[in-house]
Amino acid sequence: MIICRALLAITIVGLTIPYAGAQFGGMPGMPGSPGAGGGFGAPRAAPPAKCQALLAIRDELQNHGAAIEAANKKKANVKVACRLFRTYIATEGKMLRMLEADGASCGVPAQIAQQVKGSHAKAQQIGKQVCDAAARGPAQAGPTLSEALGTSPALPDTRSKKGAGTFETLTGNPFARP
């Protein structure tokens, strides 16, 4: 149950990334940004390489979030979920470092870096829970009632005579007379 909740929570976290990415509008060379290109018919200037890398890592993070969401829908194995979370967390950490280093020069508001930082902390917490569950392995079944009571289950007596009753169909035709 905790794993399903963890996967649901990371899905919610993953779904917030596109909203953060939508605020990259002030990035040089992007539509709506100052100096985005010349007048009519003039070619647009491409965003600087560091800003393109930031966009690429954002798209990669969205893909990892989608993979976690797909695994959640398929009710994937906990070990698979742990691997997906580790990849997601590593990519999100890389994006956070890039935002802190190049976000201002690419026109990303400071609040976006704070949102990603909060999202990263939540993802790390959920990822730890999922990976801890994966390390424990499959859930162990508790003792049966007879084990808890210290008795053994009564098994039927197999030494009974053949054709013990009218509905005994395992040994032949119940309607045939011997």
**150, part of any domain:** no
- At 66 the pLDDT is 92
**127, part of any domain:** yes
Token digits for 166? Answer: 């009218």
**171, part of any domain:** no
Q: Output 1 or 83, whichever has higher pLDDT.
A: 83
Q: Is this model's pTM higher than 0.85 or not?
A: no
- At 173 the pLDDT is 62
- At 175 the pLDDT is 65
- At 57 the pLDDT is 92
**173, part of any domain:** no
Range of the domain at 86: 2-27+47-136
Compute the mean pLDDT over every residue in the chain, rounded to the nearest whole number: 74
- At 76 the pLDDT is 84
**130, part of any domain:** yes
Average pLDDT over residues 113-131: 90
**85, part of any domain:** yes
**142, part of any domain:** no
Average pLDDT over residues 20-25: 50
- At 78 the pLDDT is 87
**78, part of any domain:** yes
Total structural domains in the chain?
A: 1
Q: For position 62, which CATH number holds?
A: 1.20.120
Average pLDDT over residues 27-40: 50
pLDDT tens column, 45-98: 777 888 899 999 999 999 999 998 888 888 888 889 899 999 999 999 999 999
